[in-house]
Structure formats: C-alpha cells, structure tokens
Amino acid sequence: MKKLLLTSICFLFVIVAFSQCQANFTSTQNGPTTVFTDLSYINQGWFTNYSVSWDWDLGDGNHSTQQNPMHTYANNGIYLVCLTVTYFDSTTINSCTSVYCDSIFVGNSIPASWDCNPTSGCYDPGTGLGQYSSFAACDTMCGAPTPSWDCPQNSPGGCYDPGTGLGQYSSLAACQAVCGAPMPSWDCGTQGCYDPGTGLGTYTSLAACQASCVNTSSNLCDSMTASGSQFQMTIQLSNVNTFVYYWVTTAPDGNVLAEDSMSTIHNVYNFTNPSTGLTYDTVTTCITYYTPSSYTTCCVNWVWNGSFWAMMGSLTSLEEIGLSNKKIVKVVDMLGRETSINNNQVLFFIYEDGTIEKRYINDRK
C-alpha cells in the first residue's frame, strides 16, 4: 500500500512539473519606446511558497529582469526578443523554466526584402527578413517564374499566364484545349487598330476601333501635349489609346525629375535644381511604348516660355509659320541653356505665343 501511494505521488509530481509554466509576451510601440507585456502562464496549484523570475534578452545586447519592461532601441530594425520565465516552489522543491522568442520591428514600417520561390519567383515575405535586400538581387539568383496558364471562368480573355508559376496548366496548348481561344477584340495603338490576342481589347469590332482610333503621328512623341505651370507639369497623349511602358523626364544636367510606367499620363512635380536651388525651364521627356511588333523609344524637349510648356520642334522658315511680327522671349542652345545669338551653332528661338523656331546661322567669312 505504501509503495502504491508513493507511485501515485510521483505521478502527480510529474504532471504538475510539465504544466506549471509557459512563457509568452506581446509588445507595443509608444513613440520611440517599446513596451513589453508579460503574458506567461503560471500554474502554482494549491502551493503558496513559490517564486517567479523573468529574464528578458531584448535583442540588442540589453537585458531586463522586470516583469513588464520598457526599452528604447538606438536604431530602427528587426530584433529577436526572448523571454525566459522560471518558476520555483520551495515546498515541493519543484521548478519550471520556459523560453519564448519573437521578432519585433522597431520603426515606421517593415523594410522590403525578398525570398526566392523556385516555382513562383521572387516575393516579399513581409517580415523584413528576406534573403535579398533588393528585387534585382533576388531576380538575378532566382530567375523568372516557370510559365503556367489559367483559364478564367465566363471571360472572353482565354488563357493567360498569372506570372506566379502557379497556374493550373503547365502549357498553353493544354489550357486552350479546355478553355478555348480568346474572342477577337481590338485596341488602338501607334500603328492603328490591332488585336492584342487576349480577348480584352477596348473594342469588340474592327469597325468600332477604326471609327475611334485617330492617329496620324509617326510616333507617340508627336501626340504629346503638356499643361500646368513651371512648377508642375502634366503630359498626356492625344488621340492614341495605348499605354506607355515607361516615362522619364530629365533636366539638362541629367537629374531625373519624374518617372511613370503603364500610364497614358505623366506628372512632373519637381523642377528644382538640387545644386543651385533654381528652377529648370528646359526638360526632356522620353517614353518607351509597345507597338504590335516591338518596343519603341522617342523623346521630346520642352521649354517654359513664361506662360506654358512648349514643345521644341524643327521649323523651316519664318514665312512658313508667320513669325515676322512675333516677339522673341528667349534663345536657347541644344542643352536648353539661354544664350545670345551666335553663328555656327544650332539655336532655338522661343516666341511669346509658344512657337519655337530652330535656326543655324552660318558664318560665311
């Protein structure tokens, strides 16, 4: 009977020992200070002669033995914080130790980082702890995702590659065998109407596209129009229904003032020279766009004439545009710098109505 009672007591002791403590915590930021709150579970049972201690490793070399410490980190970033909880009962000479660790972010936002999935390609895990600090570095090592295809339900678009490598079909042929070919549709581009092959074109018939698609420009740069002030400029395309793959506006010294992608509108909000503090009055806008066969790039020079942004073009004579009685606002060289009238160089004469004449004055001496 004594042996059975002793066995029962030992069994009870084991159960209590394994369930008496479990470390846990949460954290919040209060300005520059991080506040830690102990959420550990302690099961003291019916015993009263016990103690609990807390040992915090705050991840930056600092420690605390408070139950709910506050700590100010010297730098923003991600820190691995560990809490060790120790329970000791002096009556039963029983103890329990539990460790809980969690990553915390100190700062305004989690920095971007990337990991590589062999199937779907690079992705941001959202923790700031990705293997690569830039998408370019990840993409170089990881490569593009494996092509795959999905078939949208009740959509005229037909099969498409979601770009994740996780499409339902591993080949276009297998997808089209189930999904079918996309319905014909048309978009208006730089070369007129064309079928994008996705079934998602703006127009459902070629006639409807041709009725709306008016484009006599040799390239998209010829259809640019600009509006705004010297401190804010909006450039858009007229009579062309196509997206620009990439926009960039630069100053004569090479400073990039604005960039956009996949848009028919481009906004420039910064015209200040960072070196001099002066405002640029000459800028260059370049666009890269897709034609049905290839990518094309063209550029336009803009000059602020005191009232609006004027496109710099090539005109053949004063008589052709009737400039004989118009006032010259300024003369600029090929780099957009205001200059005096000199021989043997290309100059642009900017008139008060926004028109521009390109001249080359030949010195025949």
* DSSP string for residues in 185-254: -BEEETTEEE--SSS--SBSSHHHHHHH-----SSGGGGEEEEEETTEEEEEESS----EEEEEEE-TTS
Contact (Cβ atoms closer than 8 angstroms) between residue 266 and residue 234: yes
With cut-offs at 50, 70 and 90, classify the pLDDT of residue 85: very high
Q: Distances from the Cα of 275 to the Cαs of 110, 250, 280, 335, in angstroms? A: 32, 15, 11, 17
Query: What pLDDT, on a 0 to 100 scale, did the predictor assign at position 81?
Result: 95
Residue 307 corresponds to which tokens in the numbers above? Answer: 């009232």
How far is 59 from 67, CA to CA, in rounded Å?
17
Encode burial over 253-286: b for 16+ CB neighbours within 10 A, e otherwise. eebebbebeeebebebeebeeeeeeeebbbbbbe
How far is 53 from 71, CA to CA, in rounded Å?
18
How far is 218 from 363, CA to CA, in rounded Å?
34
Task: Kindly report each contact of residues 136-140 with a partner whose C-beta sits within 8 Å and lies 24 or more positions away, as own/partner.
Answer: 138/114
Q: How large is the average pLDDT for residues 215-228?
A: 72
How large a percentage of the chain has pLDDT more than 70?
A: 69
Annotated domain spans of the chain:
2-106, 184-212, 220-360
How far is 120 from 249, CA to CA, in rounded Å?
34
Q: How large is the average pLDDT for residues 209-221?
A: 65
User: What is the residue whose two structure tokens read 């990991």?
Assistant: 115
Average pLDDT, rounded, for the chain: 75
Q: Give which of 85, 95, 110, 89 is closest to 23, Cα–Cα.
A: 85
Query: What pLDDT, on a 0 to 100 scale, did the predictor assign at position 120?
Result: 67
Q: How large is the average pLDDT for residues 277-290?
A: 84
How far is 102 from 106, CA to CA, in rounded Å?
13
User: What is the residue whose two structure tokens read 């010829």?
Assistant: 222
With cut-offs at 50, 70 and 90, classify the pLDDT of residue 58: very high
Q: How large is the average pLDDT for residues 174-189?
A: 76
How far is 25 from 37, CA to CA, in rounded Å?
6
With cut-offs at 50, 70 and 90, classify the pLDDT of residue 17: very low
Helix (H, G, I), strand (E, B) or coil at 184: coil
- Pick one of 1.25.40.10, 2.60.40.10, 3.30.70.2190, 2.40.160.20 as the CATH number of 2-106: 2.60.40.10
- Is 316 a residue whose pLDDT tops 80? no
Q: Distances from the Cα of 363 to the Cαs of 49, 342, 343, in angstroms? A: 107, 9, 6
- Greater pLDDT, 28 or 297: 28
